[in-house]
């Protein structure tokens, strides 16, 4: 199939260099292309049942609903590439919302309150990073602990009550437009996607993440700062979880202590659907974003068609299974080739 | 002199001894009520607890609180712990109706009165002192009629519903009542979506998707408080505030704010504090051999935007959530 494409492009008069470049991109993003096709097919299938699914309005719904998961998934991806796991992101997400809302209730403005919120991410990310790298504890155990602590604090901050956001302009963070015509929630997703993808693929420090995830011992022998790389991954993961929490409370103008309870598993699922291995060493930002989009499209489709929402988990599980099988099949073919 | 001193000491000792004894008797007589909440991450169960505590204070009872963390096993453990620690009565918001038979059998063997609040016992069970719940069927019916009227006032007859999980008995009763009202009043339930997480965020997404699939929906029936908040948010985003009506069950400071802003047209208040107050009163009655009402199905009063500041509405709200909210 690739051969046919090459012939076609040669016929179009492109240089061999351009063809090789395109093939290289397709080869690098083979899994991501498959996910994008799957999302398109899924959307078409839903659209055949509910035509409004393919409307521009629904596209906006899906992207706005999916933006927090996309951003959280990008953070989780960084940890997963290094061979770790971050179970605390959902709780950090919730705690960020509660702290920010409480800060506003104490009279702080939206920007200052958001700094408090991001501080939650910084603190919990640093704790995770410290315990994993310096104390040498297992990432699963460490982030399970911080998941429990942050989740508990989310209740303690406001005694379990949900908090309305008192700053009338706070919605601008999510739904405003720093660039005219482009809602902020899309802008943030795009900027983070491009920045993280370039960081991972084009920058030396980004390549360290893959090296650490493939073999921390080998990376250490090569002089790669393994601990610093892992520490940075956990801090980035928590900070992005906090930012997605801010984005959510800006959208719904309400903070809830249980808001992030289902997001942690979704974020990990998104990363896996996107082609990352939980063993570390693989994964792309494009894949994570597409994985998050696929989960959001599934949720959207289930709602539009009117299927009982309890099926969402099963459908998402099936999507993960298909993605993993495709990825494995694709890798084995590449290996055989 | 020595005799006088001895006499004074004996008298002092007697008085102190009597005092200590009396205090001991009083302490022995002070009853303790335990509140077993299914979880305290939902405001509703905190508010029931507030009602139990408030009534306990009024009645001179001590108050202790246990959380079952949505686990029937933990609920049973909590009941045993409470009995071991010597509580005299229990008010419970059970994890589920079906989780209660072994608990009731145990408390009967220990001769401990128990009142249900919010969620009742499993049908067929009788070994309880009192059950103070909302009348979900009648409320579902009344809310269904109100929602249908909202739709018709807006030139349509299609309504959407953001439902509690339908594996809950109270949700089934709400739905049954609502469907009957829709059939009677000439409205069509275009779509019902069930919540999983009971969060505003989920309700926002569901309301958005529902309106995308059924743009001709003219009113939304929210079966729980967060549904109302989420639906109101989406109507605001779509510029449909007031053009699509919303009626919600439960009630909270957030939805009252939305009611005052005309983003929601009606709230059917579930008297969380009231259920705690009434449940505690019933177990106290059982302890003091006063008359007990076995089943109290509280009506969920409707408060509309135009009446939200009336004294009647304020009296209702006082039985919904604590004043600190």
Chain B interface includes A252 (CB < 8 A): yes
Question: Chains A and B: how many Cβ contacts under 8 Å?
Answer: 94
- Compute the distance between CA of residue B150 and CA of residue B265 in angstroms, rounded to an integer: 8
Nearest residue in B to A254, CA atom: B200
B254 to A164: CB separation less than 8 angstroms, yes or no: yes
Task: State how many domains chain A has.
Answer: 1
- What's the confidence (pLDDT) of residue B156? 95
Nearest CA in chain B to A58: B212
Q: Cβ(B219)–Cβ(B243) under 8 Å? A: no
Q: Give chain A positions within 8 Å (CB) of B233.
A: 252-254
pLDDT value at position A7? 41
Cβ count within 10 A of residue A325? 10
Q: Does B260 touch chain A (CB under 8 A)?
A: no
> What confidence score (pLDDT) does residue B207 get?
96
Q: Which of B42, B67, B198, B200 to mutate to test the interface with A (most CBs of A within 10 A)?
A: B200
On the question of pLDDT at A207 being above 50, the answer is yes
User: For A265-279, what is the mean pLDDT?
Assistant: 92
Which parts of chain A are beta strand (E)?
Answer: 163-164, 254-255
Residue of B nearest to A68 (CA): B201
B266-269/B302-304 β-pairing? antiparallel
CB atoms within 10 A of CB B313: 20
Residue A19's pLDDT is 63
Tell me the CA distances in angstroms from B251 to B197, B198, B304, one per residue in order: 18, 14, 12
Q: Is residue A225 part of a domain?
A: yes
- Give domain limits for chain B: 31-128+272-299, 136-269
Nearest to B210 by CA among B187, B228, B234: B234
Residue B134 is classified by DSSP as E
Is B46 in contact with A164 (Cβ distance < 8 A)?
Answer: no
Query: CB distance A155–B205 less than 8 Å?
Result: no
Domain B136-269 classified CATH 3.40.50.2300? Answer: yes
Asked whether residue A18 is assigned to any structural domain, the reply reads no
By C-alpha distance, the chain B residue nearest A300 is B209
pLDDT > 60? residue A8: no
Q: Is the minimum CB–CB distance between B162 and chain A shorter than 8 Å?
A: no
B205 touches chain A (CB under 8 A): yes
- Look up the domain containing A277 and give its range: 54-327
Cβ-defined contact of A306 to B213 (cutoff 8 Å): yes
Q: What is the pLDDT along chain B (325 residues), one digit of tens a residue?
A: 455 655 655 555 555 555 544 444 444 578 999 999 988 777 889 899 999 999 999 999 999 999 887 788 888 988 988 888 889 999 999 988 778 888 999 999 999 999 999 888 888 889 999 999 989 999 999 999 999 999 999 999 999 999 998 877 788 899 999 999 999 999 999 999 988 878 898 999 999 999 999 999 999 999 999 999 999 999 999 999 999 999 999 998 889 999 999 999 999 999 999 999 999 999 999 999 999 999 988 878 999 988 888 998 888 889 999 986 6
Q: Which residue of B208, B254, B257 is the best one to mutate when testing the A interface, meaning the one whose CB has the most A CBs within 10 A? A: B208
Q: How far apart are CA A320 and CA A269, in angstroms?
A: 7
Indicate the CATH number for domain B31-128+272-299.
3.40.50.2300
Closest Cβ opposite residue A256 in set B192, B194, B199:
B199
Give chain B positions within 8 Å (CB) of A251.
Answer: 201, 204
Q: If we measure between CA atoms, which residue out of B36, B42, B37, B93 comes closest to residue B224? A: B42
Quote the CA–CA distance of B196 and B206 in Å, as a whole number.
Answer: 11
**Measured between beta carbons, which residues in chain B are less than 8 angstroms from residue A306?**
191-193, 213
Strand, coil or helix: A274: coil
CATH code of A76's domain? 1.10.3470
Q: Is residue A35 part of a domain?
A: no
> Given a cut of 50, is residue A274 above it in pLDDT?
yes
**Confidence at A237, pLDDT banded by 50, 70, 90:** very high
Sheet holding B266-269, edge to edge: B188-194, B158-163, B219-222, B245-250, B266-269, B302-304
- What average pLDDT does the structure give for chain A? 88
- How far from A133 is each of A144, A277, B289, CA to CA, in Å? 16, 21, 64
- Domain-embedded: residue A300: yes
B87 or A328: which leads in pLDDT: B87
Specify the pLDDT at position A211.
96
Please report, for residues A204, B210, B244, the alpha-carbon distance to residue B234 in angstroms, rounded to integers and kept in the order given.
44, 11, 11
A138-157 pLDDT, tens digit each? 999 999 999 999 999 998 88
When pLDDT is averaged across residues A116-120 and rounded to a whole number, the result is 97
Q: Nearest C-alpha of chain A: how many angstroms from B192?
A: 7
Tell the residue number behind the tokens 């494409």, with chain if given. Answer: A5
Closest residue in A to B208 (Cα–Cα) = A61
A123 within some domain: yes
Chain centroid to Cα A77, Å, comes to 7
Determine the pLDDT at residue A14: 60
Checking if the pLDDT of A10 tops 60, the result is: no
Q: Which of B160, B189, B212, B264 to mutate to test the interface with A (most CBs of A within 10 A)?
A: B212
Contact map slice: A 11-50 vs B, CB within 8 A = 50
B128 within 8 A of B121, measured Cβ to Cβ: yes
Q: What distance in Å separates residue A276's CA from the closest CA in chain B?
A: 27
Pick the closest to residue A232 from A142, A143, A87, A126 (CA basis): A126
**B181 and chain A in contact, CB less than 8 A:** no
pLDDT score recorded for residue A4? 38
């Amino acid at each position: 199939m690739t051969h046919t494409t090459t012939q076609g492009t040669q016929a179009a008069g492109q240089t061999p260099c351009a063809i090789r470049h395109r093939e290289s991109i397709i080869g690098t993003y083979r899994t991501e292309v498959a996910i994008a096709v799957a999302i398109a097919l899924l959307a078409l299938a839903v659209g055949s049942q509910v035509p409004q699914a393919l409307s521009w309005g629904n596209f906006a719904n899906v992207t706005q609903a999916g933006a927090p998961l996309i951003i959280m998934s990008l953070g989780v991806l960084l940890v997963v590439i290094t061979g770790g796991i971050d179970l605390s992101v959902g709780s950090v997400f919730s705690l960020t919302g509660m702290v920010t809302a409480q800060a506003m209730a104490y009279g702080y403005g939206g920007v200052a309150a958001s700094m408090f919120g991001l501080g939650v991410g910084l603190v919990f990310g640093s704790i995770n990073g410290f315990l994993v790298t310096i104390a040498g504890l297992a990432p699963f155990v460490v982030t399970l602990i911080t998941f429990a602590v942050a989740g508990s604090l989310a209740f303690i901050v406001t005694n379990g009550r949900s908090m309305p956001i008192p700053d009338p302009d706070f919605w601008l963070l999510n739904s405003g437009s720093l660039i005219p015509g482009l809602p902020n929630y899309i802008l943030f997703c795009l900027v983070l996607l491009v920045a993280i993808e370039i960081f991972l693929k084009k920058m030396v420090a980004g390549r360290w993440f893959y090296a650490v995830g493939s073999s921390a011992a080998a990376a250490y022998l090569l002089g790669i700062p393994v601990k610093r790389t892992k520490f940075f991954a956990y801090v980035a993961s928590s900070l992005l979880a906090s930012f997605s929490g801010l984005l959510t409370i800006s959208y719904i103008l309400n903070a809830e202590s249980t808001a992030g309870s289902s997001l942690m598993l979704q974020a990990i699922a998104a990363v896996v659907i996107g082609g990352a291995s939980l063993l570390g060493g693989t994964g792309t930002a494009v894949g994570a974003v597409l994985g998050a989009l696929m989960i959001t499209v599934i949720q959207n489709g289930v709602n539009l068609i009117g299927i009982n929402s309890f099926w969402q988990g099963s459908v998402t599980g099936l999507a993960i299974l298909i993605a993993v099988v495709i990825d494995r099949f694709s890798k084995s073919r590449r290996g055989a080739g | 002199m020595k005799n006088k001193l001895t006499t004074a000491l004996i008298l002092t000792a007697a008085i102190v001894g009597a005092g200590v004894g009396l205090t001991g008797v009083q302490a022995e007589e002070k009853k303790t009520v335990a509140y077993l909440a299914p979880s305290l991450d939902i405001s509703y169960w905190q508010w029931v607890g507030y009602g139990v505590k408030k009534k306990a204070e009024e009645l001179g009872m001590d108050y202790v609180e246990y959380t079952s963390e949505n686990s029937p096993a933990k609920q049973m453990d909590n009941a045993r712990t409470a009995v071991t620690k010597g509580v005299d009565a229990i008010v419970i918001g059970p994890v589920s109706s079906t989780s209660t038979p072994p608990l009731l059998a145990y408390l009967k063997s220990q001769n401990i009165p128990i009142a249900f609040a919010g969620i009742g016992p499993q049908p067929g069970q009788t070994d309880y002192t009192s059950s103070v719940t909302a009348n979900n069927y009648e409320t579902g019916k009344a809310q269904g009629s109100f929602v249908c009227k909202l739709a018709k006032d807006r030139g349509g007859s299609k309504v959407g519903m953001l439902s509690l999980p339908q594996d809950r008995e109270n949700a089934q009763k709400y739905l049954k009542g609502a469907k009957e009202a829709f059939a009677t009043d000439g409205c069509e339930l275009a779509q019902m979506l069930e919540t999983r997480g009971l969060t505003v965020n989920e309700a926002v997404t569901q309301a958005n998707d529902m309106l995308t699939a059924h743009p001709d929906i003219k009113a939304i029936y929210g079966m729980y408080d967060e549904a109302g908040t989420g639906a109101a948010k989406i109507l605001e985003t779509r510029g449909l505030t007031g053009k699509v009506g919303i009626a919600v069950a439960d009630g909270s400071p957030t939805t009252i704010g939305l009611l005052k802003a005309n983003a929601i047209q009606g709230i059917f208040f579930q008297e969380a504090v009231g259920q705690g107050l009434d449940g505690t009163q019933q177990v106290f009655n059982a302890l003091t051999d006063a008359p007990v009402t076995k089943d109290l199905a509280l009506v969920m009063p409707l408060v509309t935007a135009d009446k939200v500041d009336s004294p009647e509405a304020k009296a209702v709200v006082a039985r919904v959530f604590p004043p600190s909210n």
